[in-house]
Amino acid sequence: MSTSDTRWLSAGEQQAWREFLTACQTLFSAIDWQLQHDAAIPHGYYEILVRLSETPGRALRMSQLAEASTSSKSRLSHAVARLEERGWVRRADCPTDRRGQVAQLTDEGFAALAAAAPGHVGQVRRSLIDVLTPEQLGQLQEISSAIVAAADQPVGPSRPVSCG
């Protein structure tokens, strides 16, 4: 596309986009701040623990865990290494595929998650859920679905996560 036929944002579109940007920045920094200070867990790591905790056996293949937690393989690999150092996750060889690794949530990891969860949920309520009307929350969900659906389609590369 040449510069001249760029479809610039209208004033209203730009205002909406910037307000959304600001909202995300404030929201996620509040979420991160609470988790970091009350539980010493980065939000990304928290998500990994949550996904593991919800799986039967509390264990998942690395690649499945990466997809479930919207994470790249590399990021997950580093993160699981840190979680392993804390004793919250254990890695084991996959029995059916010798390339594979299985990440398993330990009892200590589950306990850490259980201890962190109430404070985190409280922050999510204060920063988002309780701030919106139920109708707005529904709207936000539909908007989010549309964004995700658009990202799954497109021509250009737009997601960090493999579709496998």
In the set 15, 74, 144, 145, which binds DNA (CB under 7 A)?
74
**For 144, how many CA atoms within 13 A lie in the half-sphere containing its CB?**
7
**63 touches 73 (CB < 8 A):** yes
Closest CA to 66 of 75, 78, 56: 75
CB 51 within 8 A of CB 68: yes
Is 162 near its own copies (CB under 8 A)?
A: no
Alpha-carbon distance of 158 to 35, in angstroms, equals 28
* Residue 83 to residue 120: CA distance in whole angstroms: 18
Write the binding mask 105 to 144 for DNA: x where contact by CB under 7 A, - elsewhere.
----------------------------------------
- Choice from 18, 78, 125, 126 touching DNA (CB under 7 A): 78
Report the alpha-carbon distance of residue 44 to residue 32 in Å, rounded: 9
75 near its own copies, judged by CB under 8 A: no
Nearest approach, Cβ of 10 to its own copies (angstroms)?
9
Interface contacts to its own copies, rule CB under 8 A:
1, 3, 6-9, 12-13, 15-17, 19-30, 33-34, 47, 70, 117-119, 121-129, 131-132, 136-151, 154, 156-161
Interface contacts to DNA, rule CB under 7 A:
29, 33, 36-37, 42, 44-45, 61-64, 66, 71-82, 91, 94, 97-102, 160, 162, 164
